[in-house]
Chain A
Amino acid sequence: MWAILWKDLLLELRTKERVSSLFVLALLIILVFVFALTPEQLKQPAFGSALLWVALVFAGMLSIQRAFILEQERNCFAGLLLCPIDPGQVFFAKFLSNVCFLIIVEAVVAPLTLALLSLSFSVSLLGLVLVLLCGIVGFSALGTLCAAIAVRTRAREIILPLMLLPLLVPLFIAAVNVTGALLAGEAWTGTWFRILVAFDVIFVVTGWLAFGFVVQE
């Protein structure tokens, strides 16, 4: 498992294409929203949190797809399957590498979003980090499973969002609500946060168990 994770990170270090393209895409999405909304709307915490998550979900989809596309060239995924590695471990490696990339991207994009929308920075920083982390974990878990499926079909660019987005509904609603509460300076550790954590736990376990069915032929 660590071998795969090490290899994914090394590949990224070599090409730097994944993180850089994600970063630019996230910024572009935010830019599009800024143009679409009025200045008054932008100041509302609810819009800020929505924006943050829309950018994360779409950039994340690109990232998760890259994780499997880079295995497709020279059919490396088959090479991976030759190795005595349990499919569950392959899942965790891919999941963790994606979590790493999204953390790196969000570490820049999240503060940048707050600054661009001139939202107050006086929010609970710990809370914000925690919520982003929970969102990234849940997204990556379900995303890894779906991308492993999508990448080996025709029209994978379409199939991935089609599968992933409806399944992400609970994560998205919960994350936007928690972040909104955080940005507005309200209590955020309520039911929504618990739903977010439940989503994470459920889909990390599901992905780990179901991955064997997805990778074998």
Chain B
Amino acid sequence: MKTVTTHSDLVDSFLPWLTCVAMLAALAMVFLYVPNERVQGEVQRIFYFHLPSAWMAFLGFFIVAGASGAFLWQGKRSADLLARAAAELGMVFCSLVLLTGPLWARPIWGVWWTWDPRLTMTLVLWLIYAAYVLLRVFAGDTETVARYAAVLGIVGVIDIPLIYLSIRLWRGIHPKVEQMAPEMAWTLLVCTGAFVCVFAWLLRLRLRSLHLRDEIRALRQHLVAAS
């Protein structure tokens, strides 16, 4: 028990710094180091935040599914809270994708939004996240609801390949990343690293706040029982 605490304390103390450094490096690379893309110009720089956000949104979904499975298997509260925190974060990053996408699309495609498969996919993903988060809000915080949410999380992941396939067949114009200059690849790599750090740090913070909330509730009940 003790080693676990010191281990997570260590993570807690160095993760914020790592995130700061990585983020500063990412910003510097995006704005100072990487050259303009030939055709699209300055606007293309948003891509270095857009793409990692999308990956984090997917990462969140898979954490939700994994934690949900673990919760149904063993019924541990920590797995349930991990699923919940990851879903909330996934929704945040999904929102970032949906915000940065149109910012780029407007000057390049001339429209804010098109029903291109990846955009549509992200929107559907966002909606599933929203349903998951709202289910937990509306239904209260009980073991039963935790199981409902876990089932929903797993069903969502099972559905993703089908959604992707059907939307893909439906239509498509999203730019494919073909050949990237080495500078661009490096910048993307650093940005992704920075986003992983941000994701991990936020996840830690959210998890800790959820655990603290549990503790507060237990203390309150203890107080009421003792009176």
Residues of A within 8 A of B (CB): 142, 145-146, 149, 152-155, 158-159, 162-163, 165-167, 169-170, 173-174, 177, 191-192, 195, 198-199, 202-203, 206, 210, 213-214, 216-217
Contact A155 B127, beta carbon cutoff 8 Å: no
Nearest B residue (CB) for A156: B138
4 closest Cβ pairs, A-B complex: A153-B139, A166-B127, A170-B166, A170-B162
Contact B167 A173, beta carbon cutoff 8 Å: yes
Which residues of A lie under 8 Å from residue B127 when comparing CB positions?
Answer: 162, 165-166
Q: Among A155, A177, A214, which residue has its beta carbon within 8 angstroms of that of B147?
A: A214
Q: Among A155, A167, A173, A216, which residue has its beta carbon within 8 angstroms of that of B128?
A: A167
Q: Among B139, B154, B169, B170, which residue has its beta carbon within 8 angstroms of that of A210?
A: B154
State how many angstroms separate the Cβ of B15 from the closest Cβ of chain A.
33
**Which residues in window 80-117 of B have CB below 8 A to A?**
none
Q: Among A162, A174, A191, A214, which residue has its beta carbon within 8 angstroms of that of B148?
A: A214
Distance, CA A177 to CA B144, complexed state (A): 38
Contact mask B142-157 → A, CB, 8 Å, 1/0?
A: 0111011011101110
What count of chain B residues pass the 8 Å CB interface test? Answer: 31
Q: Told that A142-B155, A159-B139 touch, could you supply 13 new A-B pairs with CB distance under 8 A?
A: A152-B139, A158-B134, A162-B130, A163-B135, A169-B124, A170-B159, A170-B166, A177-B170, A191-B169, A203-B155, A213-B147, A213-B151, A217-B144
State how many angstroms separate the Cβ of A114 from the closest Cβ of chain B.
24
Contact A214 B151, beta carbon cutoff 8 Å: yes
Contact A169 B163, beta carbon cutoff 8 Å: yes
Contact B131 A166, beta carbon cutoff 8 Å: yes
Which residues of B lie under 8 Å from residue A213 when comparing CB positions?
Answer: 72, 147, 150-151
| B140 interface residue (CB < 8 Å to A) | yes
Which residues of B lie under 8 Å from residue A162 when comparing CB positions?
Answer: 127, 130-131, 134-135
